[in-house]
Amino acid sequence: MFGTSGVRGPVGETVTGPVAIGLGRALGSMAGRIVVGRDARPGGDALARAAIAGAQEAGTEVVDVGIESTPTVARAVEWYDAEAGLVVTGSHNPPEDNGFKFWTRRGHAFGPHLNRMLVQGAAASDPPTVDPGAMGTVRAVEDAAERHLQRLPEADLGDRSVVVDVGHGTGRLTADALREMGCSVTTVDPHHGDAAAGRPTADSCAVLSQVVVDTDADLGIAHDADADRTLAVDETGAFVSGDELLALFAIEMVPADARVAATINASSVVDAVVEQLGGSVVRTAVGDGPVGAACLADDVVFGGDPSGAWIWPDEALSPDGHYAACRLTEIVASGSPLSERVAALPDLITHRESVACDDPAAARSHVETQVRERHDAVTDVDGVRADLDGGWFLVRESGTEPLLRLTAEARTADRAAEIRTEARELVRDALRATRDGADPDGERRNENVPTANES
């Protein structure tokens, strides 16, 4: 039921009212008070009400914050003296999907152990319910966003101009925070009417890029539908990849001997810049949960996933898109334009794509067997990664969709193409060997994300 980031799937199939009630009951049996919120995705209200009802049946008090960003809900667990949190969100999944994410008191995503407890509780033949007189109460609050705003940076950035893609509404807190910091802010919502806008990409940021150029802004900020992810475009309108942002944030955070947590699929650009500063990188499985877990270590000062999830452990153990937007604007305001900072990063060529797959786990397992027969430097933190002469590739199963994710990287375009070809052949062989039925040439979705100066 759980992927890399909570529960997600088609409404009416994987995500249903009974599932919401069961998960609410299970969470309620684990906590005396919980915080519940949701993004603006259609159907979210019904699913949130069902989860709340389940928690009440378990005797739990519910603090309902309504429609708020995921980072606001995660932080609100501590603010309202709760023991856990639940947010109804499909994040960047397709419009027909929705889902649930769960948070600890410290604002960290539930890990495998707690997720298993939720699944067991939701599937119990004897649900954890209480007598009618002991059912939990619901308290609606309206100050969660204001509390969050008070926790964001307060530096005076002068007359900086920023354009914010508010991700169908939940990203508006970023605009408020930047205005509090003295910035001139223009908001856009190119996905208006579609609360299931996906993760920010170069294509989805086309409107944002144009507005940045037209208004002569210093940068543009892009959020996904629940505002836990943040990506950007520079002052020329060029999209800044998550790999590049990961490196730029790390440069600002890493003293000697400190570590940065980065997912296994992140570009080696972050290794290069962090090692140059005397620090090191610890690799994690993909997803903000594993990154947040790594950030519990005292010497980890920052963590990130190139999908746009950034964690500053001194501030929060979950990705906060609003905080990240403020920090990035501070970085730009402190000196060189964003385009110049990106241009100064090491040059690496990174290719990413996804392949539809009926049984991603079986296909990935087949790939791993073949990779271990061919190569010595193999890592299985998440999927299978082979480090080669001059580059590397990774094949892993998606934690949110029936896909295999493929990443290939090298110092030159020719070597990157060679490595990508090898990874594609391994995936093609795996699809055939597992009788997946997918067309390995026709089902591929290109997700190239330029790194550094790649065009």
Active site members: 91
Dist CA 269 CA 272 (whole Å): 5
Give the orientation angle of helix 144-151 with respect to helix 70-79, to 10 degrees.
90
Alpha-helical (H) ranges within 219-320 are 242-253, 269-276, 288-294
β pairing state of 219-223 and 309-311: unpaired
Count of other CB atoms within 10 angstroms of residue 71: 28
Dist CA 423 CA 425 (whole Å): 5
Q: How far is CA 269 from CA 98, 372, 451, in A?
A: 33, 25, 8
Closest CA to 218 of 345, 339, 322: 339
Q: Which amino acid is at 153?
A: P
Count of other CB atoms within 10 angstroms of residue 151: 16
CB 183 within 8 A of CB 157: yes
Tokens found for residue 282: 């610890």
Q: Please report the sign of the dihedral spanned by the C-alpha atoms of residue 26, residue 30, residue 32, residue 35.
A: negative
Q: Please report the sign of the dihedral spanned by the C-alpha atoms of residue 94, residue 100, residue 105, residue 109.
A: negative
